[in-house]
Structure 1
Amino acid sequence: MILETERLNLRPLEVSDADLLFPMMSDAEVMAHWDVPEMDDIDLIRAIVAGQVEDMAASRAMFWAMRTLEGDDFLGVCDLSDIDRWHKRAEVGFMLGRGAWGQGYGLEAMRTVIAHAASTGLRRLTARTHLGNRRSDALLEKLGFTEEGLLRGHVLRDGDRRDCRLFGLLL
């Protein structure tokens, strides 16, 4: 399903979008607060995106490519993942390239994703952030998410266990 905001077009992610994601996912600064480090293998990124497309086909997730309405510039991705229709819940996430930081695109896209989630019957959303990711923490709080706890040692990255904050939103 294509979603539209005041400045953005959110369309379902396609395998061909992997080439547009490569500059972001190979950027150490963009990937600093992700579960995995930056990647310099385009084939690995293509395989990840292909898996996300499969998850969409199985109704386990929805991933959107974020593009500007004016100019059709690719800015990043946002998603509803781990969709659980029985318990009416899912996890949200987003990734923006550095050139799109600080312009409100993430907030705008996620407001629309949250509204879409509610319209499909989901009643609870969660999000995780790595400790120190103040921008994402602030964005989630602006969206109405509440910090619910700390997931100690939740992610293994670069040989170290990393803690994550857990945020939740009831719809």
Structure 2
Amino acid sequence: MILETERLRLRPLEAADAQWLFPILNDPEVMAHWDVPEIDDPDLVRAIVEGQVAAVEAGRAFHWTIRALEDDQVIGACDLSDIDWWHKRGEIGFLLGRGAWGNGYALEAMRAVISFAAAKGVRRLAARTHLGNKRSDSVLEKLGFEQEGLLRGHVLRDGEHRDCRLFGLLL
């Protein structure tokens, strides 16, 4: 399902979108607070995207590209994933290319995703950020998420265990 906001179009992810996401996932600054470092292999990005498309087809997730309405350029991606339909819960995530930072696009996109989740019957959303990711923490707080805990040593990246903040939102 396509979601539209004032400035954005969230289009369901397709395998062909890997080419547009590769430059974003290959940027060390964008990936500084992700579970994996920048990805310099386009084939790996394609495999990741294909896995996300398969999760959508299996009913476990929704993944979208974030596109600017003015020129239809891909500026990022977002998702509603790890959906547990029985317990009516899921997790959200978002990623923007560096050129799109500071414009309120993540907030705008995620408001649309949250509304979509609520319309689908989801009643609880979770989100996770790496400790120190102030930009994403700020977006989540503006969306009404509250910090629920600290996941100590949750991610092993570059040989070190990183802590993550866990956020939650009841719909």
Output the TM-score relative to the length of structure 2: 0.99
Secondary structure of the residue aligned to 1:51 is helix
Q: Please name the residue that 2:57 is paired with.
A: 57
> Match of 1:32, SS?
helix
- Poorly superposed stretches of 4+, deviation over 6 Å: none
Return 5+ residue gaps in structure 2 as ranges.
Answer: none
Rounded to whole Å, the distance in 2 between the matches of 1:102 and 1:161 is: 29
Shift of 1:119: 0.3
Deviation at 1:89, TM superposition (A): 0.3
**Alignment partner, residue 98 of structure 1:** 98
1:158 matches 2:154 = no
Distance of 2:116 and 2:55 partners within structure 1 = 18
Q: What is the one-letter code of the residue matched to 1:56? A: V
Secondary structure, in 3 states, of the residue corresponding to 1:28? coil
Q: What is the alpha-carbon distance in structure 2 between the residues aligned to residue 27 and residue 2 of structure 1?
A: 27
Q: Provide the TM-score with structure 1 as the length reference.
A: 0.99
Partner deviation per Cα, 1:33-89 (whole Å, 9 max, x = no partner): 000000100000000000000000001000001111111111100000100000000
Distance 1:4 1:30 in 2: 24
User: Residue type of the partner of 2:146?
Assistant: T
User: What displacement does 1:102 show?
Assistant: 0.2
Counterpart of 2:129 in 1: which secondary structure? Answer: strand
Matches of 1:31 and 1:68, distance apart in 2:
21
Give the corresponding residue for 1:125: 125
How many residues in Structure 1 have an aligned counterpart in Structure 2?
Answer: 171
> Identity rate of aligned residues, in percent?
72
Residue 167 of structure 2 corresponds to 167
Root-mean-square deviation (Å): 0.4
Q: For residue 136 of structure 1, give the secondary structure of its aligned residue in structure 2.
A: helix
User: SS where residue 65 of structure 1 aligns?
Assistant: strand
Matches within 5 A, 1:68-147: 68-147=68-147
Structure 1 residue 111: deviation in Å? 0.3
What letter matches 2:162 in structure 1? Answer: R
Secondary structure in structure 2 of the residue aligned to 1:67: strand
What is the match of residue 66 of structure 2? 66
CA distance in 1, matches of 2:104, 2:124: 23
Which residue does 1:38 correspond to in 2? 38
